[in-house]
Amino acid sequence: MTTVFVDVDTQMDFLLPSGALYVPGAEKRIAAISRMNRYALQHGITVLSTMDAHAENDPEFRHWPPHCVAGTLGQRKPESTLLPGLVHWRYRHRDLDIRSASQVIIEKVTTNCFECPNFEPILSQLNADRYVIYGVATEVCVKFALQGFLQTGKKLELVLDAIQALTPEGEERTIREFQAAGGGISTTFA
């Protein structure tokens, strides 16, 4: 069974209290996210990391405060979550060979990674049977990722101690809906 770990939007603007769109408590999840990524590296599992990469006048900023502007410190991922041998698939790229990558970072400009034109080609190359999902914010970008992955018909797991929500109610609702749709729950891998 081929497994892919999916690290959703673990970027400075979301994870740190000084971030432009801070998810309260997210800084406490960095260690768990880093453990997941290192576990993947040690076990030959590819990590697919989504990453917001907005323009300064991005249309998304009509709904959310400006955040993760391409090239800013807030757009970056914590160093501890990055793996050697990563491939950074920027939004404008058409085709990259990712077969030997330990981590594939894919830029996106909306809350839903499945709206990114490069996402499906990446999933095709990875050809996974199972996806293990974690990141921020649970009831926004993680929820959209979960909904998209549920459509693949593959086995799915949500890592509870490596996610963080904007509100406890949003997290509870997202987890409940995911489980009702057939998704599994786990905790960080050691």
Domain boundaries, the chain: 3-186
Q: How confident is the model at residue 90 (pLDDT cuts 50, 70, 90)?
A: confident
Q: What whole-number distance in Å separates Cα of residue 130 and Cα of residue 14?
A: 26
Q: How confident is the model at residue 118 (pLDDT cuts 50, 70, 90)?
A: confident
The phi, psi pair for 54, rounded to 5°, reads -90, 150
pLDDT beyond 90 at 78: yes
ω before 137 within 30° of 0 (cis)?
yes
Kindly list the strands in the beta sheet with 86-89, ordered across the sheet, starting from the edge strand earlier in the chain: 86-89, 103-108, 46-52, 3-8, 130-136, 155-164, 184-186
Q: What whole-number distance in Å separates Cα of residue 107 and Cα of residue 25?
A: 24
pLDDT above 70 coverage of the chain, percent: 96
Contact 109, 52 (CB under 8 A): yes
> What is the value of pTM for the model shown?
0.95
- The CATH superfamily of 3-186 is Isochorismatase-like (3.40.50.850)
